[in-house]
Amino acid sequence: MATETNPDDLPAATNRKWSLTQEAFDRLLRCLADERDAAAEKYLEIRRNLLKFFEWRGCPFPEDHADETVNRVARRLTEGEEIRNPMAYFIGVARLLVLEIVKARAKETQALGEMGKVEIVESEDPSEARLECLRQCLQDLSPENRELILGYYQGEKGEKIENRRKLTERLQVPVNTLRMRALRLREKLQDCLQKCLAAAEM
């Protein structure tokens, strides 16, 4: 018989490359209540609470994070997890996701500096204004494109090659496709950077 696991103990990697199916969603509703209408109401209440949870913590995309939390809980149910206190479990998973978001932001900040000096900002002494423009331009990208461009240029030599290999696996695209996407994103960032700097000088 399955036992309930503390969501804080769940590794982040287990939640990737999985999408919510109708069967998984039905299982999730049955976990919330026996009667489907009551389960639907409970689900909506939980999702509203998740939105508030991520908004209060300053997360940039509360709706996306709420959906990701639902997906993770649904996946655990399909794997045989028994959840006796759904609301507490959802919040536990949401807390774990917030930690991942914070870590991702830290990595992004570090990569920003590296990429600003080496790859996109072609200057031996990048100014603060240039780096600020780069940050703004990166924020204008979708989360997926931002992750791609930062991951593609992060690291040195062997590390960079390994990072790109992992990207192809995570995105499930050939190396050439990844390279073309990165090139287009770099050109987009360079154009955005030039416009931002021109505006800053005016």
Confidence at residue 110, expressed as pLDDT on a 0 to 100 scale = 59
**The last residue of a domain, from among 101, 129, 149:** 101
Instruction: Give dist(CA 175, CA 169) in Å, integer.
Output: 9
pLDDT in tens, 173-188: 887 788 888 888 888 8
User: Whole domain around residue 37: which residue ranges?
Assistant: 9-101
Q: Note whether 74 and 133 are same-domain residues.
A: no
Query: What is the C-alpha separation between 43 and 156, in angstroms, rounded?
Result: 46
User: What's the CATH number where 166 sits?
Assistant: 1.10.10
Task: Report how far residue 175's alpha carbon sits from residue 167's, in angstroms, rounded to the nearest whole number.
Answer: 9
Q: How confident is the model at residue 109 (pLDDT cuts 50, 70, 90)?
A: low
Q: Is the pLDDT of residue 73 over 90?
A: yes
Report the distance separating Cα 93 and Cα 86, nearest Å. 11
Helices and strands (H and E) in the chain: how many:
8, 0
The pLDDT, as a whole number, for residue 108 is 59
d(C-alpha 57, C-alpha 42), whole Å: 23
Please state the pTM of the whole predicted model. Answer: 0.49
